[in-house]
Structure 1
Amino acid sequence: IEFLNGTKLLAGGVVGSVQEKHLRRIQIRETIKSHIQKEKELYAKGIKVLSLFFIDEVAKYRVYDGNSQTVKAEYGEVFEEEYQKILKAEIGLFDSAYAKYVNSFRIDDIHKGYFSVDKKGKPKTKASEIEKDSSAYDLIMKDKEKLLSLKEPTRFIFSHSALKEGWDNPNVFQICTLKHSNSTDSKRQEIGRGLRICVDKHGIRQDESLLDGAFFDVNSLTVIASESYDEFASSLQKEILDSLSRETKITLKVLSQIILINDDGMELKIGDKLAKNIIEDWTQKGYIGEDGFISDVAIKDIGNKSFEVIPQLKLWEKQVKELVKKANSVAVLGGMIGNGKNETVGELKPNDNFDKKEFQALWSKINAKATYTINVDSVILKNESVEAINQQLEVSKVKVIISSSSQKEHLAVENLEKNNSIMGNEKKEYELLNHELGSTKYDLVGEIEKNTSLTRKTIVNILAEIKEDKFNQFKTNPEEFIIKVTNIINTQKAKLLVSGIKYFKTEDKYETDIFTIPNFKYNLSKDTIEVKNHIYDYLKSDSQVERKFAEEMDDSQIVVYAKLPNNFKIPTPMGNYNPDWAVVFNGDNKKDIYFIAETKGNCIDELQLKRSEALKIEYAKKYFECLNDENIRYDCVKDYGELMDKILT
């Protein structure tokens, strides 16, 4: 997701490191709750319950002190905090035997981590480290029988290498992914660590013959994912479907194993000999391409009813055609994924329009490089920020939405294809109270200082003067308070920067070689059009707005125009800015009008523009004012019609 302020949020991601801490705490909390619920059900049956946490950094679970002793890190501390809270709240609901069981272990002993590297990412070499870790390694990786004993306190395991090490355990009932999801993560691999039929304390598998109708009630896996329900469910079902995919290449091995059944119920197993005859026939007719896949020729012949099968398949002709179409559709689908073909022109140089005196006159007016100075009154900034915070700041309470669902007992390909093999999507929503936010400490002034580049003194003065009820919102949601206050201050700062900025031309100028584009690639059917009034023969657009704008500028009122090269930049406090267009119009009395344009879908509504883009446009206006040329105009326009309106006014 890309937000209006330019922030991008990926699956499993959160905005801000502190926000992420809340998310991970909630995941750990929900895993413990699920674990205890399952454990209460299975303890009397003599079945040990394990939970597995996948993490992406060893240092988030444990670190080493100066004496090479392990110390609990963030996840270890959060786990113990949440476990103790949940146990205290629910202990009165446990039966006496289970209550005695959970109270019989020290909290330090119920969770362990197995990591194959030390704190520096290197194999352990110190004897003390090997001795300490060998016991955890042997228990988790080798001594499964001991780990499954109800007398062994370890019930929660943290690991970042379980997938690589090939570890699994039949009694993992909860899997929690305390890490960002990415394209290389396999959902099937992750949950595969818990997709085993569990055993009891005697090692007896709790299969369907033993449990009958209760099999799925006992052997169920709960996944506490770090991404949205939709994202996780969709990815998992796609992976399962991909794993069930059949080969679509028409090979002897594949074809020989196919069994055809016609409408009369007659069955035919193709076998090696018949498969060889079919491949020879289809290859000769062009039905199989050089890559081994069914070709479009076969599909075309089926469509015009000229597709013929060899005599041995006459009774199964309908089924053969269905087989061919199905094989082709899967192959074509795979071939559709990829990049469109780009045609390379090589070095693209300007055409004769570039040499027109009108364009050269415009270029000589704008090719000077510039610098700027800024004068901002800190007292005005403080007062404006205080007023804006008092008027605008509203911080929402932290809300948690937990989605839960279940995989259907029986998988069918059609359900996977329709993305509905997972049933139900029960949602639970609640607001976090202040004490549930955990013990995270916040450097309020430091965070705002880091994101506004103001002095601590200025920030303290701002916070000291805002209304008390506004400042108290910090307790409700510290992260959102910091983000919103920072944004409000930056907005006021940006407004003052625009009014306080002053540009100066320097002696340096942009050379004309910036208009030569090396290795220009284009696709006329996709992102490039041929143009007439432009300084190039081709124009590659970044958006539909730009494309339409360029098409309309092949107008008789336009003498010449250019999409300014990326190397033409105007410095601003928000970073360098590259205007879109330089346009020369036929003016009255044979006097040319020069217009520098920025094309945006909506220039009026700043909410539709990223804040940084809107500010850069304002700075650019200041830059072009410093050129002190009444014939040069700069503005943001949404289309060619608005450009003409501004020229005529």
Structure 2
Amino acid sequence: MHISKVRSKRKTLFVEAVIDRKHADGAQRVQVVLQNGSDLFDLSDGLPQYRGMEVDRIDRKPDRVTFTNNQTIQVGEEAGVDRQLVWRDQIRHTIRQHLARQDQIDAAGHDVKTLSLFFVEQVADYVGDEAVLPGMFDELFREEWLRAGKPENQMPDPASVRVSYFPSTKTGVLKDTKGRASDAEFESRAYQEIIANKELILTKDNPRAFIFSHSALKEGWDNPNVFQVGFLRHTRSDLERRQQIGRGLRLPVNQAGRRVKDPAINRLTLVVDESFVEFRDGLNAEYEAAGGSKGEATELENADNEVLVRRRPELFDSDEFRELWKRIRYKARYRVSIIPDSLATVVAGSDHLDDLRFIQRRANVVQSATLEYDEHGHVITDEEAVSENRGERVLVTGQRLPDVVQLIEEQLQYGKFPLQLTRQTIANIVEHIITFDRDYGRYVLDDPERWARIVANAIRWETIEQMVDGINYEPVDEAEWYDAEVVFIDVETKTPPQPAKGNADPQSGVISDDGGRSLYDHVDYDSHVERAFARQLSNDPDRVKLFTKLPRRFKVATPVGEYAPDWAIVYEENGVERLYLVRETKDTRNLDDLDWDEKMRIKFAKRHFGAAPLGPVDYLHTTDKDGLLVVRRSRE
């Protein structure tokens, strides 16, 4: 428990404190107000550590509380927890995560420096004769460096990798702050110091990588390369969690100053002094209090559920993987050729133009309702009581009709799948539409902007459909092809969702590969179909010689966005023929049952793998029930 404050009201003393309370997910920290006779055992719903702790006396100057078991706790003190032991665990875990993350980033080929940030309880914990954190950090850094298997002779001096930023007076005296207006000058000076040196600390030539600070740093500092945040202090306000984790919610930059968008490394680890459930619920409450929607921050993952996914070196170095990788590692650019007249004819007859018939001339909208008032004079009329009617039609006279070709061109350049066509091609399409159905042309006078939006949508859909037959993939220079060491990094961390009420079987997760055929010792899945398919591959050692779930770092370019296929497989039938397969798994074999963009990516991917430099790659989409769909070739 933590004693926060003693206050007086009507000559009665009260104590503000934080205690643990029994919860379904373990102990949960709650705020309570104590007075003489308050029983912590009852207030905690029966936690045994509070048995016999009934408030016996409350004193002022010094502010303190004495309990019936003769234990006395002063304001600012915490009992029941050895804070230094907690700090050791937090610092150890942060250092461990830091070293592993830097190794992961280096293995992925990103020239990015990893930073970790600690928030301390008070400046005296880090600075001064009695400061314990520097020595504690140095000791744990040495231990974790050796534990990670790094050469002892390459270990940097731990003191050289840590740095602190604290508010100070003009004479350089470091100062604790509590966010009050009077502290603004001190905090401002600290922030300016951080901002002035932000670029310096991002360079690998600068050994400093662990930052200790006292204040929440608020809006004045947003270093993008903070991957770990250690909370060596308990949050003090409703805003502090969001301010503190915000220091790490930035896309990292590499040594060239460019943003890195690899989702495999862009993960922020929070090392807190409370349970995951308590931290998550408190953070959600802060977002809601700030006007966010409920559940906005529930993307937090509990590191206690973290799984290390390790690459199997014997398979990575095998002939099977080497041959598979040779066939699929290429990158390709695509070129598209479309016959304008053919496209114009297809668009003119497209079902996507049907909405043109429902365009009405623009008009004012008239809303009316009977106002109802409560006893305080506030209007309480419900929205459902409001009626709406069309008013006078808007007539535009004396103005030229907008250039609909330009309007369509602008619409095509925005949206989910931008498309660029020449003005001549667009004009040709418009002419075909009006010729195909003269009513279509009449509606453009009623609402030119909406007319252009509907036509642009039809053009986009039909053009991309036409691209499947007119697309050609050409491999780029081999120097730009994928590197296996970058795509298949040595170790990855996965944090699968845990079963919860109403969600006993999550759609995504991680399963171990007991068959020994997966390139990694665990396989992550994004659907129940993928999970079942992975188990089929793992349980077929006679024919499946090797398989891997392709990381999302491996992508194929398509006109509807980048596409990441699911599986790469080495297959052998009766020891006669070895096949190298790429498979996409869905819950249906009927492409028309999929979302349109999913369907189109699969169609374009088939053209991509058909242009492989060493010959077409066997690419298909399948389901867990249909299996690998291997075509049995006749033997000559």
TM bin (shorter chain): 0.3 to 0.5
TM-score normalised by length of structure 1: 0.44
Greater share of residues in helix = 1
Q: Which has the higher contact order (CA 8 A, sep 6+)?
A: 1
Q: Larger Cα Rg: Structure 1 or Structure 2?
A: 1
TM-score normalised by length of structure 2: 0.44
